[in-house]
Each structure stands twice: as C-alpha cells, then as structure tokens.
Amino acid sequence: MKKKNPKRTFSHPAREKKGGGLSVVKEKQDKAGSGVPKDGAAQTSESKSDGFAVKKVVSVEGFITLAIVLAIFVPIAVIMGFGNMINTLFNNALELLRNICFYLLSVAVVVGALSSVLTEFGVIALANKALSPLMKPVYGMPGATSIAIFSVFLSDNPAVLALTDDPRYRRYFKKYQLAGLANLGTAFGMGLIVIVKLGNTAVRGGGSVGLAIAMGVLGAVIGSIFSTRWMLRRAKKVYGTTEEAAPAGEHEFDVLKQREVRSGNILQRFFDSLLDGGASGVKIGLAIIPGVLIIANLVKILTNGCPDGGYTGAADEGVALLPWIGDKLSTIFGWLFGFETPSAISIPITALGSAGAAVELVGDGMYTATEIAVFTSMCMFWSGFLSTRVAMMDSLGIRNLTTSSIVYHLIGGIIAGFCAHWLYYLCALML
C-alpha cells in the first residue's frame, strides 16, 4: 500500500474504547480535585478560569486606564464642548455604520459565497498547487494564500475571514501559518478601490500618477514580506511547525492530492456552497462592526477640524490633532514618506480605521505624486486593519497573537510607505 504523506494527512479522531474516555477524565478530575484548596486558602489574584484572570478589585491598571481615558477625552471636550463631542461621536458612528460597515458586510457576504464556490469546485486547490513554488520561498506560505490576497485586493480584509471560515480552506495551512495569513492577506485590502480612486486624482506639482500607483503597489509587496515573515517567526514559537490549522475531517486523505466536496449533483453543490458561504459572511460582517465604529470614529475626530460656523455636534467635526502633529513632525515625515503637506499624515492614519474613508479625503491637486505613491501603499496595507484585526484573530483561533500581529503590521505599513516614497523618487530621477 502506498504510504501517505504524514505531514498533510487528515483523519477522523480515533474512537476510544467504551468507557475508556470517561474513566480517564474522572481519574484526572480526582487527581486535580475540585479546584479549591483544601485548607480554604483564597485563590491567587492571577488564577485563570475560562480564559479570564481573577484580579483584585482595586489595582493599578484601573487608575492607569482612567487616566488614559481622561487624557484623551477631557481635552477634546474642552475644545468642542462636552455635548458637541458626544453628539459628534454618535453621529460619526451612525455615518460609519451606514457608509462603511454595511459595505463591509456586503463584501463579506459576496466574497464568502464566491470563496465557498471556489473551494467546492477545486479552484483553490488548483491555485495552491500552481502557486506554492512562488509563495513558499517568498512568504513561507502555501499557494492557497494567493486566493486570500486576490480576494482582499478586490474587496476588503473581511474576505480573509470568509475564506478561513471554511475548514477545507484551512487544511492547506499549518496553525502557525494562519497568523501569517492574517498579516499577508490583509496587506492589499481594498487595493482595487484605492488604485482606481487615487489613479484618477490630479497631483500637485507634476509627476506621473501611473508610476506613483505602481511604486505604491511594489512598496506594499515589500512591506508584506517583512510583516509576514516576522509574524511567522513569532507564531512558530507558540504553535510549532507541525500543528494543523483545521480539525480532522471524516475521511483520511492527503490535501495535496485530494480534496473534500459536498454530496449531491453539481447544481446542488453549487447552491449549497453559495448559500453556506454567504451565511458565514453575514457573521463575519457583523463581527467587525465594533472595531470600525470605535477605531475609525476616534481617528475621524482627531483628524477633522472645526467647521466655519463653529461646533454643532454634527458628524465629521473634530480637533485636527493629527494634521497638527504632521505639521510639527514634517521633517521626519518628509524624509520617511516625502510628505510636503501637513494634512498628508491624516490619510494613512485614517486608513487604520478605513481605507475607503481615507482615500475620500484625497482631492484633486491637494497632494504630490510622491504622496500619492505613499498613500497607495499605506492605504492598501493598513486598510482598516485596526478595526478588524481583533475580530479576525479571534475568528482564526489565535487571539493570543493579536498584539504581535498589530505591531508587525504597523511596522510593515511604515516600511511599505518608506519604500514607495524612495522607489518613486529613484524612478522619477531615472525617467
């Protein structure tokens, strides 16, 4: 009999002998006891239960958190007025829900349905086979990752969740590679929309918009390599390199040579996969709403300024802190990203919450071609990832790596913008 590949083989969990599993569990429980010390001593302040830790009612972090909240919102309330600040936060949230969250929900449903069909009929298996020779040496990822990149490029970051919600897609990955997928798959979010919007924008001071867009995409590729490789190295220390990302299936098979499909005729399989994928997209779209309404809301109030008639509590009002920071640090940002306009820093920062909201801030003749290159790179790379990363890592089952994923993706975005700036500068010199 031909020996199967032990590294990529999935099988149904072995059935235990009757009564065996119960006796083992009971024996472990008897050894562990009830979890309460016999001498009646109190539990330690850091004892964990069901993913939570028990701490003292009064602790240092409570005072630190209160101080941070007051430091952020008291100055804003003093400038805008407390009532206006609250109304602006609520109106911003409503605007984001209508214009951004419902859009992302739609994206998740459509891409979820499409990805389920692609998985069902072998397109992802084909991509994994064909592109593994490219993806493995560059990113250390399987070829199936290319489907995630293509999906988020055409839509947005929730497309990754729509794909990974299908266990059949997860089977192409090891557990540690899911962490890399979270960083690589979201490095090109809303790429098509960003390119179309910025590519049709007139630049200030001359220069080639087409070249700027091309260098922006190349910068995002470079940044994604750093971000993904760092994340994989961190995840290997946590999960090792042998643990599979998907649970065992009902049948034993090699995922590099075979694939699992639904039962029924072709038409039935098509509609079943279409509807199941769309249903998973609904859950994903709802899960990302809190992050968008919180992160993007805060970015908007720190970016927008006071309207001509004064504060009214309407949406899109704010204290213009980020443009002020951009003006003060113009020398640093000028060297890193080639920014010549103080408000330019607000574009990539807004992209942390929503790339769609960020590119809408770019008007004709406002920015140079170099700045457009950097916007292309950083808006794609950071495309609302702070709004969705916690929900994404939770859905992938690797929430303990959320902080590392965020840090590496932030650094990767800075590298992407830096590379886009200097690549455009060098190409412009040669041309």
Strand partners, 52: 49
**Which residues have CB under 8 Å from 137's CB, separation 6+?**
none
The pLDDT of residue 100 is 76
The pLDDT of residue 28 is 42
DSSP 42: P
Retrieve residue 34's tokens.
């009830």
Asked if residue 177 lies in contact with residue 359, where contact means CB atoms within 8 angstroms, the answer is no
pLDDT at 335 over 60: yes
pTM, to two decimals:
0.70
Confidence of residue 42 (pLDDT cuts 50, 70, 90): very low
pLDDT at 15 over 50: no
Q: Is 246 left (phi over 0), alpha (psi -120 to 50) or beta?
A: beta
The rounded distance, in Å, linking the Cα atoms of 427 and 222 is: 16
The rounded distance, in Å, linking the Cα atoms of 256 and 253 is: 9
- 3-state SS class at 10: strand
In degrees to the nearest 10, what's the CA dihedral of 326, 331, 334, 337? -70
Retrieve residue 113's tokens.
């349905």
The rounded distance, in Å, linking the Cα atoms of 323 and 309 is: 20
Listed range (104-108, 235-239, 425-429) with the worst mean pLDDT:
104-108
**For 128-144, what is each residue's pLDDT tens digit?**
777 778 888 999 998 88
DSSP 344: G
Average pLDDT over residues 264-279: 87
CA-based nearest residue to 102, from 308, 285, 347: 285
Mean pLDDT of the chain: 80
One-letter amino acid at 371 equals E
**Which residues have CB under 8 Å from 290's CB, separation 6+?**
391
- Ordered by start, the domain boundaries in the chain are 88-430
Strand partners, 108: none
| Choice between 253 and 407, residue whose per-residue pLDDT is larger | 407
**Which residues have CB under 8 Å from 62's CB, separation 6+?**
none
CA-based nearest residue to 159, from 180, 128, 188: 188
Asked if residue 153 lies in contact with residue 188, where contact means CB atoms within 8 angstroms, the answer is yes
